[in-house]
């Protein structure tokens, strides 16, 4: 029986990716007050320890009233995306780190900030089909930006119905 060292390393990496995506999901579900999309982010060091976490929400001190959360224009003017919250609350440089996002890939605006922060790998679930119309044009740009800047990204099958 031959031992396939590289296959074993890929399997370990895939399991860690799933675990960190589940952590981002848990954090989003526990912290985000957004009634439509609860998103979470985990930034992980090369040794696979957590450097920072974030969720989508209003800035500290800003009231998250029912109207602000349920009137889309009001919400969009105030919300800080989970990826940005994770970068802002990190207490260290993030060069070479991995970003895990839930429930799907970063938007194109957050992608440029992640690139600038030094994130070198991004892992997210593949977008569910029911969300594709709303988000896919952003993901196309996000993928373009990551490719251009040499950021590795992987979209993992986590839902039964993905694009």
| Distance of alpha carbon 56 from alpha carbon 141, whole angstroms | 21
145 in Cβ contact with 108 (< 8 Å):
yes
Residue from 19, 22, 74, 83 carrying the catalytic annotation: 83
Check residue 135 and give its pLDDT: 85
Across the strands, what pairs with 153? 122
- What's the rounded mean pLDDT across residues 2-11? 65
Model confidence over 29-72: pLDDT tens digits?
999 999 989 999 999 999 999 999 999 999 999 999 999 999 99
Q: What is the pLDDT of residue 163?
A: 45
In this predicted model, what pLDDT tens digit does every residue of 100-138 receive, in sequence order? 999 999 999 999 999 999 999 999 999 888 888 888 888
For this structure, is 154 an active site residue?
A: no
Element of type H or E holding 156: strand 152-156
Per-residue pLDDT, averaged over 133-151, amounts to 94
Backbone phi and psi for residue 41, each to the nearest 5 degrees, phi listed first:
-140, 145
């Amino acid at each position: 029986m031959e031992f396939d060292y590289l296959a074993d390393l890929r399997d370990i990496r895939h399991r860690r990716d799933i675990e960190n995506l589940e952590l981002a999901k848990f954090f989003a579900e526990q912290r985000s007050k957004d009634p439509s999309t609860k998103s979470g982010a985990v930034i992980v060091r090369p040794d696979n320890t957590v450097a920072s976490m974030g969720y989508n929400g209003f800035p500290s001190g800003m009231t998250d009233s029912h109207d602000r959360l349920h009137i889309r224009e009001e919400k969009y003017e105030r919300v800080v995306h989970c990826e940005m919250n994770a970068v802002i609350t990190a207490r260290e440089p993030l060069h070479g780190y991995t970003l895990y996002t839930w429930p799907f890939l970063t938007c194109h605006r957050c992608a440029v900030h992640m690139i600038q922060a030094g994130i070198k790998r991004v892992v997210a679930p593949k977008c569910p089909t029911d969300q594709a119309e709303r988000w896919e044009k952003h993901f196309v740009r996000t993928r373009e930006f990551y490719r251009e800047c040499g950021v590795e990204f992987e979209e993992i099958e986590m839902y039964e119905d993905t694009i």
